[in-house]
Structure 1
Amino acid sequence: MSITGNLKTMELAELLEWLHRGRKTGTLFIDNGEVEKKIYFEKGSIVSSAASDPKEYLGRFLVNHGHIDEITLAQAVEMQQENKMLLGKILVTIGAISEKNLNRMLRTKAEESIYELFTWQEGDFNFVDDELPGYQAVPLSLSNVTALILEGHTRLDEWRRIKDKIPSDKVVPVTVGELAAPANDEVAERVLGLVNDERTIQEIALEAHAGEFEASRALFQQVEKGRIKMIRPRMMGNSEEPADPAPASADSVDARALLKAARKHVAEGKLEQALRYIKATTILEPNNRQLKQSIASTEDMITQRLRNDGVNMTSVPQLDCNIEEVDSSTLSRQAGFMLTRVDGTYDLNGIAKISPMSPLEAQIVIWELKQAGYIKLGKKKKKSSAR
């Protein structure tokens, strides 16, 4: 018996339970207009899944989870084109992954694919009796169907909480504090490593080879800890007037409030946080001429604070510690980069030219290293003229 419908009228959990209890054999097709997924059943047990979304392809999934690298995947795909073997079998044959780990990852991939279905608001489905893939699938245990449904509901609840703060993958995560991924969470590490105050969540997820849920969850954890704010950029155009407000989350983010907070951070000596809030303000309203003047004024406040503490572009940073004894885990990525470039001969202007930071950001990092006692500042020696 076949069944067709839409997830709006028949929930996924109800559909899976019906197929499971009826011990159905066949393929469940679900299409939301962008992605089509297939779930294969044999006597009510889910035996495999497939999807048209490239991030769910087996090779990409194994790369994302650190089991193979891009070069190995490319070699295996080339071999697959020549001999038409299954990709997983090729990877086992060449010793890239053990059969045990492959089977485990195939099960994980199927489970993750189904979990994502619970976040779909709608999608047409069609179950075709007795249609199965023309290859031997790795079966999931019968009890997993019920477990998948329970976990799927848990994911859905979590997704709703995330959406309260991150309503769209078009928003830009802007750092306002030091980011730190949970231990042993490689996906979160990749996602947070791509946050540059310019990329949207959609762009970050694409580059991190992660799904929207995975990327959003990693960023949501940072939002909850006050380390990230979500900004919805105004559309760039010819007009210098700000666009109508478009809140980036349930808690509307106001550009002027961000700039006010930045000025407060400057007064408190929290220069890195101040700069992050300035960046967020710029992203939020890039065409507001009046705001640009206020931003420039706030940046001048930072520059003046740096000068008062002896930091400017002609300062020559010198190590004031044994670099081998420095605990790198206590340093930000920028501070670590800058510390390894300090040799007592180049001024900050020269170091900034080879760093990925803006001149103001580079000065702030040097200021922080000086405050922490890692470096001291000198003046560039004038070259003696020949007589």
Structure 2
Amino acid sequence: MALHGDLFSYPLPEFLQWLDSSRKTGTLQLSWEAGERKLFLLSGQVGATASEGLRGRVARLLALAKLASGAKVLAAFDELSRTPDVDAAFDVHGLQARWIRDLGREELFAAMTDLTIAGRGTFHWTEDADRSGEDWVPSDMSIRELLFESLRWVDEQPDVDKALPIDALSVRALTPPSPSQPLMHRIILGLCTKPHNLGRLRLSMGVSRSSVTRRVYELLRAKLVEVDGAPQVEADPVAEMLEKGAVLMREGQFDAAGIVCASLLASDPADRRVREFARLVQREHVAALYSEMPPLLIPMVVHDPQGMSLLKPEERQIAGLVSGTWDVSTIVLASPARELETLKTLAKLQRMGLLQLTAPR
């Protein structure tokens, strides 16, 4: 099935939500004045992105950060034509695949932000996910994460534009780059050891203005750079907590990310960024639990009265639904608890040795 249309009639965030909810596999091509981007999807995950000259830009950025020579990065990309294992292709050349993924994600966040703000352009969707012949780099994130992060950038863009209104503003690093910092922050700090105006910085990096200004704004907020003529930027505690929550989620610490969500929702339930992030964390947690406990597997209770006595009443109620004939998805539907809570209880029973998963006969 192929679909095509314009992003004025069918806004990009809504189209991404449709792709996510239907767990689509295929290629989404987006075209507008800035060029063309392709997103390669596998069951709701954005495995890679492509655009003209993208690999060259990634090689340039890693060379600017003094993390690798451009030739070595391009050689690693050539290796991808011989092996489907992204990590192995870069390991062979002494490179960390996470650097490449970080820059692929950066490309997508900026492109989705620009397209959402512009509200124009065209899309073409096809269920053919073939990447061969494309200038692609891995990105490895869910559509939900892409949607949340790009909408957060859109919401905060007026603050960024207010602080950094023109390209003539001069940026100077107040601290040297550190391996503990995000990759884009390291690159900018390394380039701005001497004053560098925003326009030249953007051109030397070869990335979009929204990406550069966003990252400079974050550094300005953290007091890691100074920008001549920029107003004083105070730290946004909500934005900082959301960034920390996003890191926790990417590391698979969903319960900790959920605590961040709960505290933010309690303080300001009307903030769209917070509501979107809460939904993202819940969906990602559910998806992670289903990967541990596939929906069609059948749970079997292991007889252990002492272990069962350690459970809370609501957990024992869910355990009572395990009949040895119902699969995971049926138990979730029958449970009086929410989907997430039911899956968390089943995962807990499995960790305690009170549950075994068997294939259907």
Normalised by the size of structure 1, how large is the TM-score? 0.46
Which of structures 1 and 2 has the bigger CA Rg? Answer: 1
Larger RCO (alpha carbons 8 Å, 6+ apart)? 2
